[in-house]
Amino acid sequence: MRIKNQMVLFLFSILLIFAFIVDDASAEYGDVVINNYSDEAGMRPVVFPHWFHRIRFRCKVCHADLGFKFQAGGNDITMLKIIDGEYCGACHNGDIAWSVENCNICHSATPGINTQVHESTLQKLIAPEAAK
Residues at the interface with ligand HEC (CB under 6 A): 32, 34-38, 41, 43, 45-46, 48-50, 52-54, 56-57, 59, 61-63, 66, 68, 70-75, 77-80, 82, 87-88, 90-92, 96-98, 100-103, 105-107, 117
| Spatial CA neighbour of 45 closest among 105, 104, 111 | 111
Between 87 and 124, name the residue whose CB sits nearer to ligand HEC.
87
**Least CB distance from residue 121 to ligand HEC, whole Å?**
16
- Measured CA to CA, the distance from residue 64 to residue 31 in angstroms comes to 20
**Least CB distance from residue 131 to ligand HEC, whole Å?**
18
Please give the backbone phi and psi of residue 97, each rounded to the nearest 5 degrees, phi first. -145, 170
Give how far the C-alpha of residue 13 lies from the chain's centroid of Cα atoms, to the nearest Å. 25
- Measured CA to CA, the distance from residue 92 to residue 1 in angstroms comes to 59
**Least CB distance from residue 24 to ligand HEC, whole Å?**
15
Between 16 and 64, name the residue whose CB sits nearer to ligand HEC.
64
Please give the backbone phi and psi of residue 53, each rounded to the nearest 5 degrees, phi first. -80, -35
Between 16 and 70, name the residue whose CB sits nearer to ligand HEC.
70
Between 32 and 124, name the residue whose CB sits nearer to ligand HEC.
32
Q: Exposed, middle or buried, 75 (CB in 10 Å: 0-12/13-18/19+)?
A: middle
